[in-house]
Structure 1
């Protein structure tokens, strides 16, 4: 007790007597009264010389920074100056879609064991993370004018692909997430890079906030093998669609699979099953820096509205989806393949989609059909059945890897000749090859991706058809764990979906994207 009182007294004297510029102070204690003094006197015994701890620590930090600057040894790959737990936090954030229930304070892959005590509040378990993507697009050649014979090259996957465009924000995401209890997890993600189109043809407004995800995972077992996801989240159809844009190598998702669920999300209920050994395999891949698609179960089923992201439901029917995927460690084939993982799966969905209608006009203005005419020809208030099946196969790059996905189906689509929406078939997919190079001024993943699609783009008015053939060659450079750069060249042949005449345009585009992650 005496020692505690003496410590408090010393801190009080230090706080009051040491000026910011003082280097140290001599302290004395009266052997009879136990009072502290800053100068010698009768019956006073010297305790010693004392310094302000914060000043000393600040001076050491300043000296360390100065020494690194003078020596020239500090590089972007040098992470010694980071907090001791930064590696854990960054690895945790990359793996959050695989296993969101990991305690960064306990370790990257240590399951969080929540306390159930009066002192443990739910808001103490809420975490923040996010990322920003800034792009630069430049059209080297191609159709850029916007006439009947020369339509402008546009992409539904990247609004920055157009004439008179330079820098854009592709994504500005902030994620709020955490375990409210051992059986309940929440996830909320807004995006601050949404573009609001001017319907009158004027300039669009940029950087509006939009809700992307807002869901809760309700766990039915302690091992988290069975769960219900309720809210707005990704619809489990395809593999690349489920992969976070923060982790994806190519700049954009493929059109063929994404056309099934534009913006990847909808409001509904989903049930997932992931056995423990598969959870561990996906965690291990993430720990090695592999870009998984996240834990959407080896089996998943769900129902959802079907009108796509942030749109009101427009009919009484719902979409039904079934998802399956399984990762195989190829070590069972040969010891030399141990650690190589091949993931394969298949998905299917069925539902009824109600289109929106808009005016249709050809480039030369010879045909001008109103949205009401298209609606009347197609059937007022009519729903159009959409059914698809998809398959995927992914060999994670260790160091060579590939991805391939394809889907087939039928849906309503606009027939331009008779201004009528009719049932039609669709098909398309992509193939991607990549190679991972580690620890050479950061990590590198060169890749090449080819995609094709013939089918409907239901997110636009009148459910127009689109044709896509695209070759993309690029490289991702992980400069450090918080900073990535992707550069690529693309040769595009695309239907211009940003006008009502749907002309086909072809061109060459250079793109670069800088991504910074925050944890």
Structure 2
């Protein structure tokens, strides 16, 4: 402890008093000397207090001399004082409990770690730079350093002839040579050395505010499309490890480049903020009302037509007197999407367990694997009721594209949320039309789609022992429609249950265990076979 002047004086006086008491005769009167020492100590303390007052007054005088005039703006901040840096990382591990005869078909759109021969996997590694550059400009820049390119496994088609009265044949990408329905596990294909974990932009936008309350703003750049609550909800906050394909199939990576207008009344801004801040699994502030125009081909993808997509959304969170919050929303978008195509061998049964059958008595039975499906959209040369056998059935046939404007792509979604206090319930459903490979896998056409999900959860905070926060949950999802962002926009059928628990021992640490009972289509490789599997996944997330 640091001693003041008064304390030093008191110590010296006490020592001197002790010395005099030892040296002086016993009969000496020390009372007068003690009174004198106390008087000196009081004077020293008074002098010290006066010195402190004078130093404080001098400092205030210097500060007022250098202070800015009344009403003037505060001094400018450095850039690092206006922006903040944060992020999070997700590491996963999966174990396929069983996959039936189609083990090698097990694959999902949202998680590349799902599949045979997989172990640990970095799903996301995000760094976020954000902040108010000024009163009217906000910057948000998010990069993901765990992005992986496609094509890390190459599949080569093979065919096994099944001789029966129907004269049918069937081919498999992974396991040819064994008759249906027991195709075996022989692998055809090869591994490539394509690396992963590249840095890629997720968000890069500026919010431009038009008023001091920041109720009106325009978001310019690459950002999330205001369609679907679960798409807007950050993966940092979501319980289920992947978004439901029924709503996520609308927008690849949930983002695109465009201009989005948001209106959030002043009294709602704290509600949207606190639903995330208070660990209630909110989606963030994407406006009570939103309207936008964007490319439509997806994030980090080149635009392929001159048309744009339009989107609009309305949502409202209602707070009851007991503090419970419910939210309802409706959104829709429309535009024309240009599908991505690649050579395949047309067959029957896409989206079923018997996909890959090729009846020998129809014109395209002799077509090889180099056939590119025809896109039946505006701007493509329309061949009408063409005979495929006349267009290179043996060597394959490629369609002639003439400034394709794309295929009609329109949806509407409704959503309802009861936030977990402690019980939570969330549901979404969407309907629409979009590009989809037809039943004979020869053309991509406009087809109807429908699907959604229901998720229930419970929030338990262990306040007695302080072990953390627990979120047990169960989720069901369904989808029947095209997977427009995959090559050839194959049909996707999903009927899936999953259950799990998210455990937060600390705010910066989360651990999730997730079980999935899967019944879905492998949209990554033709013949786009349906598979059933039971899967356990684990994820460790750390926030910083």
Q: Give the TM-score of the pair, scaled to structure 2.
A: 0.70
**117, 125, 139: which is aligned to 1:172?**
125
- C-alpha distance in 1 between matches for 2:338 and 2:115: 29
- C-alpha distance in 2 between matches for 1:401 and 1:379: 52
Q: Post-superposition shift, 1:430? A: 0.1
Is the partner of 1:241 in helix, strand or coil? helix
**410, 418, 421: which is aligned to 1:398?**
421
Check 1:199–1:160 CA distance in 2 against 1; reply closer, same or farther (3 A cut).
Answer: closer
- For residues 273-297 of structure 1, the C-alpha deviation after alignment (integer angstroms, 9 at most, x for no partner) is 1111111222333343211101000
Correspondence for 1:348: 332
The 5 A counterparts of 1:44-443 are 117=74, 119-143=76-100, 145=102, 152-198=105-151, 201=154, 202-203=191-192, 204-331=194-321, 338-361=322-345, 363=356, 368-370=368-370, 372-375=372-375, 380=401, 381-417=404-440, 419-439=442-462, 440-443=466-469
Q: Post-superposition shift, 1:127? A: 1.1
Is the partner of 1:286 in helix, strand or coil? helix
Q: Post-superposition shift, 1:205? A: 1.7
Check 1:434–1:480 CA distance in 2 against 1; reply closer, same or farther (3 A cut).
Answer: same
Q: Post-superposition shift, 1:379? A: 7.0
Q: Post-superposition shift, 1:460? A: 1.0
Check 1:154–1:215 CA distance in 2 against 1; reply closer, same or farther (3 A cut).
Answer: same
Correspondence for 1:482: 508
Correspondence for 1:105: none
- C-alpha distance in 2 between matches for 1:509 and 1:116: 59
**498, 509, 519: which is aligned to 2:524?**
498
- C-alpha distance in 2 between matches for 1:233 and 1:209: 17
- C-alpha distance in 1 between matches for 2:277 and 2:253: 28
- C-alpha distance in 1 between matches for 2:76 and 2:320: 47
Q: Post-superposition shift, 1:197? A: 2.3
Q: Post-superposition shift, 1:456? A: 1.1
- For residues 402-433 of structure 1, the C-alpha deviation after alignment (integer angstroms, 9 at most, x for no partner) is 00000000112111415011111000000000
Q: Post-superposition shift, 1:152? A: 1.5
- C-alpha distance in 1 between matches for 2:243 and 2:151: 25
8 Å contact from structure 2 (residues 273, 284) kept in 1: no
The 5 A counterparts of 1:504-515 are 504-515=530-541
Q: Post-superposition shift, 1:198? A: 3.0
- C-alpha distance in 2 between matches for 1:404 and 1:172: 28
- C-alpha distance in 2 between matches for 1:269 and 1:144: 47
- C-alpha distance in 2 between matches for 1:315 and 1:119: 45
- C-alpha distance in 2 between matches for 1:199 and 1:489: 26
Q: Post-superposition shift, 1:330? A: 2.6
- For residues 431-469 of structure 1, the C-alpha deviation after alignment (integer angstroms, 9 at most, x for no partner) is 000000002510001000000000111111111110011
Check 1:258–1:308 CA distance in 2 against 1; reply closer, same or farther (3 A cut).
Answer: same
- C-alpha distance in 2 between matches for 1:168 and 1:510: 14
Check 1:386–1:173 CA distance in 2 against 1; reply closer, same or farther (3 A cut).
Answer: same
8 Å contact from structure 1 (residues 197, 205) kept in 2: no
- For residues 468-489 of structure 1, the C-alpha deviation after alignment (integer angstroms, 9 at most, x for no partner) is 1110000000110110000011
Over the aligned positions, Cα root-mean-square deviation in angstroms equals: 1.9
**Worse overlay, 365-374 or 410-419:** 365-374
Gaps of 5+ in 2: 1-71, 155-190, 348-355, 359-364, 376-380, 384-398
- C-alpha distance in 2 between matches for 1:143 and 1:517: 38
Q: Post-superposition shift, 1:144? A: 6.6
Check 1:141–1:323 CA distance in 2 against 1; reply closer, same or farther (3 A cut).
Answer: same
Q: Give the TM-score of the pair, scaled to structure 1.
A: 0.73
Task: Answer with 1 or 2: which has the greater Rg.
Answer: 2
8 Å contact from structure 1 (residues 144, 152) kept in 2: no
8 Å contact from structure 1 (residues 143, 153) kept in 2: no
Check 1:416–1:379 CA distance in 2 against 1; reply closer, same or farther (3 A cut).
Answer: farther
Gaps of 5+ in 1: 1-114, 332-337
- C-alpha distance in 1 between matches for 2:540 and 2:469: 15
**460, 472, 488: which is aligned to 2:486?**
460
Is the partner of 1:256 in helix, strand or coil? helix
Q: Post-superposition shift, 1:124? A: 2.9
- C-alpha distance in 1 between matches for 2:264 and 2:357: 55
Is the partner of 1:206 in helix, strand or coil? coil
Q: Post-superposition shift, 1:125? A: 1.2
